[in-house]
Amino acid sequence: MKADIGVIAGSGLYSLLEGAAENDIDTKYGKPSSKVGIGRIGKVDVAFIPRHGKEHTIPPHKVPYVANIQAFKDLGVTRIIGIGAVGSLREDYKPGDFVLFDQFINMTNGRRDTTFDEGKVVHVSTADPYCPEMRSVVADTMMTAEINMHKTGTVVVINGPRFSTKAESKLFASSGMDVINMTQYPEVALARELGICYVGIGVVTDYDAGIGGQEPVSFGEIANKFAESEQHVRALVKEIIPLIPKKQSCSCSRSLDGAVASKSVLE
C-alpha cells in the first residue's frame, strides 16, 4: 500500500477518488481521522483523508493532526494538498474566492503540534512553511481556471470551535492577516517536520465577524457556501495532481538539515 500525493480536505471530496479502496491505517501516533481512501488520478497514486472524519464528527481542536500526517508519511507520500474553508478578513477576498496560503499565524492552544517530543531536540524552520514548488503549480493552474484566486494569503489559525468575536476579527484584520481558519495549524507544520511538501488552499466562505460591515454568518451558511465551491475544488485538485513533478526540486524534504540540536549545543 503506497501513495505519492496526499489530499486532506472536507468529507465532500471523498468522491474525488471514485472506487478508491478504504484502508484502515494505524500509526505510531494512533489512527487518522478516518479510513484512508487510496486511488489513482491519472498515473498518480493518491491518498485521501477527510480531516473531520467521514461523517464530519471531529471538531477542529480534536483532529488527530499528528496521526493524519504520519499516515501519509507511512504510505510514502511526499506531497500533501490541504484544502479548507476560510473566513475573509479583507473585503477584496470575497466568498467563493480561493486563497493560496504563503504564511500562517498560530493562535491555537492545547494541540499536539510536534513529533519531536522526546529523544532529540529539533527546531524545524517554518519561516516559509508552504512548498514553493507546489505553490507555483497551483498558482499557474488556478490562473487558467474560472476561479477568482489570490496567490498569497496569511492565514490566522484559531482554536475554535467557536467563531471569532468582532473585536478579535478587527484585531486580526488590522494586523495584516488575510483569512482565518481552524485547521491549518499544526497540519502544515507537522508536514514540514516530516519532510513532506505541503500546499494549503483556502476556500473563502464568508466575511469574518464584522468585516466589511457584514453580519456574522452561521456554520450552516458557511457549509452551504463551501458545498457550492466543491465542484471547483474537485476540478482543481484533479487538474493539479498530474502537474506536480514527481521529483522534488524544493528543499522541503531536507527540513531537518541543521535542525537537530547536537550534544555540544546542549552542554
Instruction: Give the integer Cα–Cα distance in Å for 115 and 110.
Output: 15
**Residue number with CB closer to Zn ion (83 or 177):** 83
**Binding to Zn ion by residue 89, rule CB under 5 A?**
no
**Residue number with CB closer to Zn ion (133 or 187):** 133
Instruction: Give the integer Cα–Cα distance in Å for 194 and 220.
Output: 35
Phi, psi for 14 (deg, rounded to 5): -55, -40
Size of the site for Zn ion (CB under 5 A): 5
**Residue number with CB closer to Zn ion (26 or 140):** 140
The span of 53-61, 65-73, 111-119, 248-256 binding Zn ion (CB under 5 A) equals 248-256
Cell of 171: 484585531
- Residue of 107, 122, 250, 256 interacting with Zn ion (CB under 5 A): 250
Selecting among 4, 97, 178, 208, the annotated active-site residue is 208
Q: Which residues contact 53 (CB under 8 A, 6 or more apart)?
A: 11, 33, 34
Residue 247's H or E segment, with its range, is: none
**Residue number with CB closer to Zn ion (88 or 248):** 248
Instruction: Give the integer Cα–Cα distance in Å for 254 and 223.
Output: 37
**Residue number with CB closer to Zn ion (36 or 199):** 199
Residue 141's H or E segment, with its range, is: helix 132-144
Instruction: Give the integer Cα–Cα distance in Å for 145 and 164.
Output: 32
Query: Is 206 noted as a catalytic residue in this protein?
Result: yes
Amino acid at 188: V
The span of 32-40, 110-118, 145-153, 245-253 binding Zn ion (CB under 5 A) equals 245-253
The span of 42-50, 161-169, 184-192, 249-257 binding Zn ion (CB under 5 A) equals 249-257
Instruction: Give the integer Cα–Cα distance in Å for 98 and 235.
Output: 13
The span of 34-42, 53-61, 174-182, 191-199 binding Zn ion (CB under 5 A) equals 191-199
- Residue of 197, 237, 240, 244 interacting with Zn ion (CB under 5 A): 197
**Binding to Zn ion by residue 217, rule CB under 5 A?**
no
Residue 173's H or E segment, with its range, is: helix 166-174
**Residue number with CB closer to Zn ion (58 or 250):** 250
- Residue of 67, 71, 131, 233 interacting with Zn ion (CB under 5 A): 131
Beta strands in the chain (DSSP E): 5-9, 21-23, 36-41, 44-50, 79-88, 98-100, 103-107, 149-150, 154-158, 179-181, 197-207
Query: Is 4 noted as a catalytic residue in this protein?
Result: no
Residues annotated as part of the active site = 206, 208
Q: Where does this chain bind Zn ion (CB under 5 A)?
A: 131, 133, 197, 250, 252
